[in-house]
């Protein structure tokens, strides 16, 4: 995959458009100026977390003796589950995510997991290990992060222009696209696992 293709997939995984209603809900009690400050702070925290995983995540997986195929399969499953929730969001009765009215969110949930979610972290580890060097992956992360920041900074204006129905429709469309990516990740991981098992079995038979 090219740098821009990876950046686009990470942009979709960050789901900034789908997060607009969530950010508005969590920040609605804050004045507009403070909202922008909080959004910039939380996005910077998310960026740092993602970059750390781009460099250290792969080493952690090696330390735990987790194979690339396992990361692919797990990332595909996680992404698939998240995308199902994007297409079929839970009702308020199933899980109300509205915060306490007087609290200003910090790190959780605006930075993690809304932006630096498990699917994004799994993806950057896979790309750092398979597609690009860690520094190139960081470049793709930044390319995805900048438009996400711009979209969220203009979230209140976008909601007024597009309306909640259009935003919901865009979120579900992104969810559908990402389900295809999730299935491909799972199939790639399964193919790698099957090939490794076949080669191992063949070597044992030769012995």
**Contact call for residues 57 and 121 (beta carbons, < 8 A):** yes
The pLDDT value recorded for residue 131 is 64
Burial class (CB in 10 A: 0-12, 13-18, 19+), 159: middle
Torsion of CA 138, 140, 143, 148, to 10 degrees: -90
Distance separating alpha carbons of residues 117 and 94, to the nearest angstrom: 20
The pLDDT value recorded for residue 90 is 66
What are the distances in angstroms from CA 196 to CA 59, 109, 123, 141, 150? 21, 38, 21, 30, 43
Tokens 């781009």, located at residue: 54
Q: Which residue from 183, 179, 177, 174 is spatially nearest to 73, judged by alpha carbons?
A: 183
The pLDDT value recorded for residue 32 is 81
3-state secondary structure string across the chain: CCHHHHHHHHHHHHCHHHHHHHHHHHHCCCCHHHHHHHHHHHHHHHHHHHHHHHHHHHHHHHHCCCCHHHHHHHHHHHHHHHHHHHHCCCCCCCCCCCCCCCCCCECECCCCCCCCCHHHHHHHHHHHHHHCCHHHHHHHHHHHHHHHHHHHHCHHHHHHHHHHHHHHHHHHHHHHHHHHHHHHHHHHHHHHHHHHHHHHHHHHHHC
The pLDDT value recorded for residue 100 is 43
The pLDDT value recorded for residue 99 is 40
> Per-block average pLDDT, block size 10, for the chain (207 residues)?
87 87 78 89 95 83 76 79 75 48 75 83 81 82 96 80 74 79 84 85 79
């Amino acid at each position: 995959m090219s740098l821009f293709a990876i950046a686009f997939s990470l942009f979709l995984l960050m789901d900034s458009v789908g997060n607009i209603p969530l950010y508005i809900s969590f920040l609605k009690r804050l004045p507009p100026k403070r909202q922008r400050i909080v959004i910039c702070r939380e996005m910077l925290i998310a960026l740092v977390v993602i970059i750390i995983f781009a460099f250290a995540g792969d080493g952690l997986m090696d330390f735990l003796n987790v194979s690339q195929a396992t990361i692919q399969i797990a990332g595909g499953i996680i992404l698939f589950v998240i995308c199902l929730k994007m297409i079929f969001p839970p009702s308020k009765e199933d899980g109300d995510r509205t915060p306490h009215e007087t609290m200003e969110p910090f790190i959780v949930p605006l930075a993690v997991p809304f932006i630096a979610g498990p699917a994004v972290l799994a993806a950057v580890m896979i790309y750092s290990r398979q597609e690009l060097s860690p520094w190139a992956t960081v470049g793709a992360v930044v390319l995805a992060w900048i438009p996400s920041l711009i979209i969220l900074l203009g979230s209140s204006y976008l909601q007024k222009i597009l309306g909640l129905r259009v935003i919901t429709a865009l979120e579900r469309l992104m969810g559908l696209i990402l389900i295809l990516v999730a299935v491909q990740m799972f199939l790639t991981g399964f193919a790698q696992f099957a090939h490794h098992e076949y080669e191992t079995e063949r070597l044992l038979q030769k012995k």
